[in-house]
Amino acid sequence: MSSPKRSSPRMGQKLKRKTPKAMGVLEMESETDGLLTSNGHQNETEQATWKMSNNQRKWTFLTLTLAILVGLFLLRTDEIVEAETKGVDETGHSELDHVELKPPKKFHTTSGSFGGVNNIAHPGGAKAAARGEGLAFEEIIIPKSNVGHAIPSIDRPNLVNSLGHYIHDEHRSPYASHLYDATREELEQRQQKYIEKMQKVREEWGAWDFRDPREDESNTNTSTPRTDDVGRSEADFANAPYKDLPVEDFPPDSWQADEEYLGRFLDEAKKLVHRVKEGIYAEVGWPTKGSDEKRLEDREKYFKIHVWDPPDCETDSDAKNQIAEAEIKCGKKAKEGIAKFQKHAFDGLVKKLLHAMMTNDEFYAILGGHSAAAGHGNDFQQNRIITFHHLMEPVFDKLGMRLISRNMAMGGVGTLQFSLAGGDLYGETDILEWDSGMTERGPPVDLFNKQAILSGERVPVIMTNNLFDIMNESNETAWMGTYFDSKPIFPETTFDNCKSQPYAARWYNQKEEKYNAICWEPRSDFTPAAKQADHPTSQVGWHPGNRQHQWSGRKLALVLLEALQAAFELWEDGIAKNGAPLAASYWHVGDSYKVIRENVRTHINTPKPDEKEGDIRSECEKLMPWLPRVCRLQMHGKCEKLFMLTYV
């Protein structure tokens, strides 16, 4: 794109700017019908210009000088615009991709990504929004996968809400918003208490304190020292299927390639995960501080995440009791703890987390189930997947990932209607929980498992108690996990001991204080015309209260925290062996996804039942004998209305 040609302004002409689309282009318009006559002689109008007084000449000279300066300024402006938008059309897009003019993003920052000018629940953000400032008013590029069967799973409101919501604004109390119906003095008191509380938390528990070594001018250890004022180069994953970028394609100055950067980052990451785990232990009455050796041994047993490997379960004995004992010891048939995984499934979760961190990608945590899973009887913020999200979103943000959590449970039904459109309605999934035991058993659950594996770009780790024959059907490659019952963790609460128990562990038996939900909090900006109910409906015996929901969310958090710890250790080992960036075998996911899917498609393509041999079809194929392909293909569907409880 070349600079537009311009004519030099002449005396007796006025300058007019064109529309913004032709910024910088000057259009000359004569105030007379013609400065030159047809025979080339100056007309009387031009001749008259030389018969001016001294003052007229001065003003004319100043006007001409000003016009020249304006012209030079506009010329320079056009050159800058051209340089910054080279190859970009009027809509801001080139033939290949969008060119962003923003400075390179800094990952793993101490300030985090939340709140600030985007937090419209506080005065600063509200005023900025009124001026048209903030993320909600900016151009947002929605990342698109180049894998053909990927499911579009994030939109503009998701991204605006992700960075703008008030929950994780570490400098503003969520209870000091001007939207509360409270006096200014009361709101200021709440804010002051919040500041004091956060200071105590940082002093007692510590805080994220990562610094890019390039920002430290005295540091000379970084393998990619700063040579100018430009930030680090970012890796381009646009053309890499599954974002599995070859290691040699990472820019030499990218953070993934800087061993000093990674050393600092992984050190802070390990401390962060340790703090969060310790916080969960303390929250439910099992703190490290003040616990004796026996108490800590019990905690290790009750909070254990078992990762078992088939060779570890083998025994030379044929005795059933010794086989059972070996399977309990290796974890395969463990009866206590948080959850259990076969080793290859846990390794798959670790690889997915490494991939998300290496690519600064989204990580999707999805829940499918019935009304109890949906959180009926509680406020939306008290639902199990949302309480998980509140805890883990800032953790993922510090680690360079965007956590997206969705509650896709639906009252009165279960998962069948979603599974029949698994390629569209659930969206992408990285870890998927099934909780629909009151409404579904058998074939629909097997369909849920298979569609979860077959749908979308990603193959999830599936948390369920109903595996059916999915391991044989996937040739032992499916990523499955199972939760345990958590009753041993919580002592029985009575009126005599309730005050001595931590709030989160109190009345876990739900004999008292089962629900803690209201329908309306008085606001300063709106008063509903209709009288609001005191609490949500469906507070019935079979729906768990807020404490059980919160603990379910904590269990998922503990699973991911355990996997993150393993990921950090693996990352350090990989760098020690092969340097940075981390070798592809540790974090590339595409081949794993393809193998699992192909195994499922191949192994469940069973023949029709043989009258002599019995029915050898999978449970999924028995669901619709006339349409067995639903068990082998990604299903698609649409619905007129879908109330998706999404929190990002």
Residue ending a domain, among 142, 173, 207, is 207
* Terminal C-alpha separation, the chain: 40
Residue 560 scores a pLDDT above 90: yes
User: What is d(CA 647, CA 132) in angstroms, rounded to the nearest whole number?
Assistant: 24
> Which pLDDT tens digit goes with each residue over 20-39?
333 332 222 333 333 333 33
> Within 10 A of 626 (CB to CB), how many other CB atoms are there?
4
Which is it for the CA torsion 46, 52, 56, 61, positive or negative?
positive
Peptide bond into 581 cis (omega under 30): yes
The number of distinct structural domains making up the chain is 3
- Tokens read off for 432: 């998927």
406 to 113, 212, 236, 481: CA distances (angstroms): 20, 33, 28, 19
Question: Are 197 and 276 part of one and the same domain?
Answer: no
Q: Please tell me whether residues 477 and 562 are part of one structural domain.
A: yes
In a domain, 440, yes or no: yes
Residues 393 and 267 in one domain: yes
147, amino acid identity: V
pLDDT for 253-292, tens place per residue? 999 999 999 999 999 999 999 999 999 999 999 999 999 9
Give the DSSP H/E element, type plus range, for residue 321.
helix 320-330
Q: What pLDDT sits at residue 56?
A: 57
Judged against a pLDDT cut of 70, whether residue 90 lies above it is answered with no
Inside any domain, residue 145: no
Q: What's the confidence (pLDDT) of residue 224? A: 61
- pLDDT tops 70 at residue 84: no
Written as one letter, the residue type at 547 is: R
In a domain, 557, yes or no: yes
Mean pLDDT of 316-343: 90
What average pLDDT does the structure give for the chain? 80
pLDDT tens-digit series, residues 115-151: 777 778 788 788 888 898 888 888 888 878 889 888 8
CB 299 within 8 A of CB 280: no
The CA–CA distances, whole Å, from 14 to 43, 72, 473 equal 18, 16, 80
With respect to residue 523, please indicate whether it lies within any of the assigned structural domains: no
pLDDT reported for residue 164: 63
442: pLDDT strictly greater than 60: yes
Residue 326 is assigned to a structural domain of this protein: no
- Would you state the pLDDT for residue 64? 61
Q: Determine which helix (DSSP H) or strand (DSSP E) holds 366, and give its type and residue range.
A: strand 362-369
- Do 172 and 269 lie in a common domain? no
262 and 120 in a single domain? The answer is no
431-435/645-647 β-pairing: unpaired
Instruction: Say what the pLDDT of residue 587 is.
Output: 98
pLDDT at position 565: 98
Confidence of residue 488 (pLDDT cuts 50, 70, 90): confident
13 or 366, which is more confident:
366
Asked if the model's pLDDT at residue 79 lies above 70, the reply is no
576 assigned to some structural domain: yes
**Using 50, 70 and 90 to split pLDDT, how confident is the model at 581?**
very high
pLDDT at residue 261, rounded to an integer: 95
Strands 431-435 and 305-308: unpaired
Look at residue 380 in the predicted model and tell me its pLDDT: 86
Q: Please report how the helices 259-283 and 546-578 are oriented relative to each other, as an axis angle in degrees rounded to 10.
A: 160
Given the structure tokens 């002093």, which residue do they identify? Answer: 203
Angle at 407 between CA 401 and CA 411, to 5 degrees: 175
Query: Do residues 327 and 367 touch, judged by C-beta distance below 8 A?
Result: no
pLDDT tens-place string over residues 166-221: 567 778 888 888 889 999 999 999 999 999 999 999 999 999 999 999 887 666 56
For residues 176 and 69, membership in a common domain is answered with no
- Do 175 and 287 share a domain, yes or no? no
The answer to whether the CB of 291 falls within 8 A of the CB of 299 is yes
Give yes or no: residues 301 and 409 share one domain.
yes
Residue 18: the pLDDT is 35
Per-residue tokens: 90: 């009027």
- Tell me the average pLDDT across 446-464: 95
User: pLDDT above 90 covers what percent of the chain?
Assistant: 46
pLDDT-based confidence at residue 69 (cuts at 50, 70, 90): low
CB 296 within 8 A of CB 258: no
161 shares its domain with 27: no
Q: Assess whether 416 and 562 both reside in one domain.
A: yes
Same domain assignment for residues 439 and 366 = yes
Q: What is the pTM for the complete model shown?
A: 0.81
Domain membership of residue 26 as a residue range: 1-32+59-82
Instruction: Please indicate, yes or no, if residue 428 is contained in any of the structural domains.
Output: yes
Query: Is residue 370 in some structural domain?
Result: yes
Of 260, 533, 216, 204, whose CA–CA distance to 379 is shortest? 533
Same domain, 436 and 561: yes
pLDDT at 217: 64
